[in-house]
């Protein structure tokens, strides 16, 4: 055999072997719906329907292998972290949510101000125009989504707003 050919073949083989072990970059984060972010962030399943309404997701979970429990904040005392990590659902058109699909996010904290008789809800979400939490202007990349905001809503009524937790059956 020709020694030049053997060397070229060996180099080519080495290049092919090395390139097969090169770690490919992770896919870039993309803009997400609020529901897609919630599912990514909590490791929950997709409904399989890109147009599924966010406000119906807790009910979908309860029909698909999860125990879902709804929670109501108390005006007298909310323990630190009691709502942290829970889901918040805002029904369609309530507090500025999408008029068809509503909204869903991940609760950070819920507070009641007795002197003003109003609630402040701090949460993370994607694809919304709610006010940013103090110190969190602008969106961030998190859970594969490039449009995540740390938000807050202040309201005197929780009508049309629900909080829930879930566990696998």
116 CA to centre of own chain: 30
Instruction: Pick the closest to residue 82 from 92, 91, 73 (CA basis).
Output: 73
Mean pLDDT, residues 125-138 taken together: 96
Distances 38 to 9, 14, 41, 81, 123 between C-alpha atoms, Å: 51, 44, 5, 19, 11
pLDDT category of residue 22 using cuts at 50, 70 and 90: very low
Which percentage of the chain shows pLDDT scores above 70?
Answer: 82
Four-CA torsion 35, 36, 40, 45, nearest 10 degrees: 80
pLDDT category of residue 15 using cuts at 50, 70 and 90: very low
Strand bridging mode 118-126 / 140-142: unpaired
Burial class (CB in 10 A: 0-12, 13-18, 19+), 34: buried
pLDDT category of residue 11 using cuts at 50, 70 and 90: very low
CA 125 – CA 101 distance, rounded (Å): 14
pTM of the model: 0.82
Structure confidence at residue 26 (pLDDT): 52
What is the tens place of the pLDDT at every residue in 57-95?
Answer: 999 999 999 999 999 988 877 776 789 999 999 999 999
pLDDT category of residue 3 using cuts at 50, 70 and 90: low
């Amino acid at each position: 055999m020709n020694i030049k050919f053997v060397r070229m073949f060996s180099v080519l083989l080495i290049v092919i072997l090395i390139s097969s072990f090169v770690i490919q970059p992770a896919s870039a984060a993309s803009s997400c719906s609020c529901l897609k972010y919630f599912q990514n962030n909590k490791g929950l399943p997709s409904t399989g329907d890109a147009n599924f309404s966010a406000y119906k997701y807790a009910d979908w979970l309860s029909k698909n292998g999860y125990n879902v429990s709804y929670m109501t904040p108390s005006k007298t005392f909310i323990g630190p972290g009691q709502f942290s990590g829970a889901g918040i659902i805002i029904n369609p058109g309530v507090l500025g949510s999408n008029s068809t699909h509503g909204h869903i996010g991940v609760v950070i904290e819920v507070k009641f101000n007795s002197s003003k008789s109003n609630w402040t809800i701090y949460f993370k979400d994607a694809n919304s125009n709610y006010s940013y939490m103090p110190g969190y202007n602008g969106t961030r990349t998190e859970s594969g989504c490039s449009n995540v905001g740390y938000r807050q809503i202040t309201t005197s009524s929780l009508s049309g707003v629900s909080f829930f937790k879930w566990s696998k059956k």
